[in-house]
């Protein structure tokens, strides 16, 4: 007997969306199983497992989930562009464009490395650490873009420089980007060519260089928003350095003699490439016109005048040397020989240079 409350509810009942006449039997299905085609493509991207061989990498990855800053929230409003001369703006924007050859290629470079790590079925911790570095590098690239556009709207190339120094900056930037694109074609080949330990040794060089550079720029810059940016980027780079060290501690002792020799060569290549920002660009890699260095020196002087902390050539040499010696003391105990870097008075092995297979990045 329906109560008063349920009267009329029958008509509101909804039909279940699916009705089976008979449920399938698992046993029957198993009897008809068809095997899936074997995955024959070695470079398939599917992670069949989430193994962690280097727990330290996972710990650093956990710390990196929140980098603790974001380029959009830097105090850009404190940048007094109006109080700078046009040449000072061109000069500071020029330095950010120079940096972007290294830092703004970071997202694509590490994203590529991450895909590669998936393809060759590296441990989960390596895949994740590449993702984290890619994320950070995207922030660094954003800072380059924001800085350039605050100082030279439409820059680095989409505006018309109005002074002589501005035109020199423009020409230099075009040459820098020409070399940046040469780096990318080399990197694409190198990433598939070298085993992970060799790649990480090369990345290590980039991270030693970048953490050194940003630390010095932080210390010597007086413009608050750039100081803050350098502090944060430098901290990220320090974390990237920890990623590299954590992995290399495990893999360097197992490196074959042949791979060790490759690392030595890669260090020489890294030095030549990274000198483009840490020091001055050597001609072994850098295709630049004769006007490049004199123009860059003028631009650097102008940027310094505005409180932007580019070190003097002498200090850069000293700084670069300290960084390189730091790298040398990390790898030498593992039997990796260091290349001679006569440009900054570092002794070592004389090695060939292959401009086509440069790996290092920031």
Residues near Fe ion (CB under 5 A):
103, 106, 137, 140, 237, 240, 362
How far is residue 123's CA from residue 55's CA, in Å, rounded to a whole number?
A: 10
Taking the least distance from each CB to Fe ion, the nearer of 208 and 299 is: 208
Shortest Å, Cβ 110 to Fe ion: 8
Which residue, 122 or 137, is less far from Fe ion as judged by CB? 137
**71 or 161, CB closer to Fe ion?**
71
Closer to Fe ion by CB, 137 or 300: give it.
137
User: With respect to Fe ion, which residue has the nearer C-beta, 101 or 168?
Assistant: 101
Alpha-carbon span 190 to 180, nearest angstrom: 15
Residue 200 C-beta: closest distance to Fe ion, Å: 12
Cα–Cα distance list, 255 to 9, 60, 67, 115, 262 (Å): 75, 23, 32, 23, 10
Query: Which lies closer to Fe ion via its Cβ, residue 137 or residue 280?
Result: 137
Q: What is the DSSP string of 177-233?
A: HHHHHHHHHHHHHHHHHS-HHHHHHHHHHHHHHHHHHHHHHHHH---HHHHHHHHHH
- Name the residue with the smallest CB distance to Fe ion: 240
Return the C-alpha torsion angle 184, 186, 188, 189, nearest 10: 170
* Minimum separation from the CB atom of position 80 to Fe ion (A): 26
Measured CA to CA, the distance from residue 344 to residue 319 in angstroms comes to: 10
**Residue closer to Fe ion (CB basis): 292 or 362:** 362
CB of 106 to Fe ion, least distance (A): 5
Closest distance to Fe ion from the beta carbon of 68 (Å): 15
Instruction: Report the nearest approach of Fe ion to the CB of residue 232 (Å).
Output: 11
Q: How far is the CB of 103 from Fe ion (least distance, A)?
A: 4
Minimal distance in Å, beta carbon 361 to Fe ion?
A: 7
> What residues contact residue 324 under an 8 Å CB cut-off, 6+ apart?
208, 271, 341, 344, 346
Count of alpha carbons within 13 angstroms of residue 54, beta-carbon side = 22
Dihedral Cα 57, 58, 59, 64, nearest 10 deg:
90
Nearer of residues 130 and 292 to Fe ion, judged by Cβ: 130
In this structure, are residues 298 and 165 in contact, taking their beta carbons and an 8 Å threshold?
Answer: yes
Residue 154, H or E segment: none
Q: Let me know: does 144 contact 229? Beta carbons within 8 Å.
A: no
Please state, in angstroms and as integers, the Cα–Cα distance from residue 309 to each residue in 223, 292, 312, following that order.
Answer: 9, 20, 9
């Amino acid at each position: 007997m329906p109560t008063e409350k349920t009267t009329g509810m029958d008509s509101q009942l909804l039909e279940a969306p699916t009705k089976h006449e008979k449920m399938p039997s698992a046993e029957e299905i198993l009897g008809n199983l068809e095997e899936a085609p074997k995955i024959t493509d070695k470079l398939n991207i599917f992670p069949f497992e989430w193994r962690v061989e280097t727990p330290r990498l996972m710990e650093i990855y956990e710390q990196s989930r929140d980098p603790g800053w974001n380029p959009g929230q830097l105090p850009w409003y404190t940048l007094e562009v109006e109080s700078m001369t046009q040449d000072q703006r061109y000069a500071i924007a020029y330095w950010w464009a120079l940096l972007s050859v290294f830092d703004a290629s970071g997202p694509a470079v590490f994203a590529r490395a991450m895909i590669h790590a998936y393809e060759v079925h590296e441990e989960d911790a390596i895949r994740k650490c590449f993702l984290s570095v890619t994320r950070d590098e995207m922030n660094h690239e954003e800072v380059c873009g924001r800085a350039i556009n605050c100082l030279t709207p439409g820059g680095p190339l989409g505006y018309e420089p109005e002074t002589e120094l501005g035109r020199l900056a423009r020409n230099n930037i075009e040459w820098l980007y020409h070399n940046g694109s040469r780096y990318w074609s080399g990197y694409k080949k190198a990433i598939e060519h070298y085993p992970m330990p060799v790649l990480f040794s090369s990345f290590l060089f980039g991270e030693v260089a970048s953490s050194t550079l940003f630390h010095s720029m932080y210390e010597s810059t007086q413009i608050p928003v750039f100081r803050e940016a350098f502090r944060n980027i430098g901290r990220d780079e320090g974390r990237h350095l920890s990623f590299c060290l954590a992995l290399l501690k495990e893999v360097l002792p197992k490196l074959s003699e042949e791979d060790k020799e490759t690392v030595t060569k890669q260090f020489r290549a890294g030095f030549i490439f990274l000198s483009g920002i840490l020091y001055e660009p050597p001609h072994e890699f850098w295709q630049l016109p004769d006007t490049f260095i004199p123009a860059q020196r003028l631009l650097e002087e102008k940027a310094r005048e505005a409180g932007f902390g580019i070190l003097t050539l002498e200090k850069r040499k000293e700084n670069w040397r300290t960084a390189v010696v730091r790298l040398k003391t990390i790898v030498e105990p593992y039997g990796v020989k260091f290349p001679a870097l006569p440009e900054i008075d570092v002794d070592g092995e004389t090695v060939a240079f292959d401009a086509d297979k440069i790996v290092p990045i920031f």
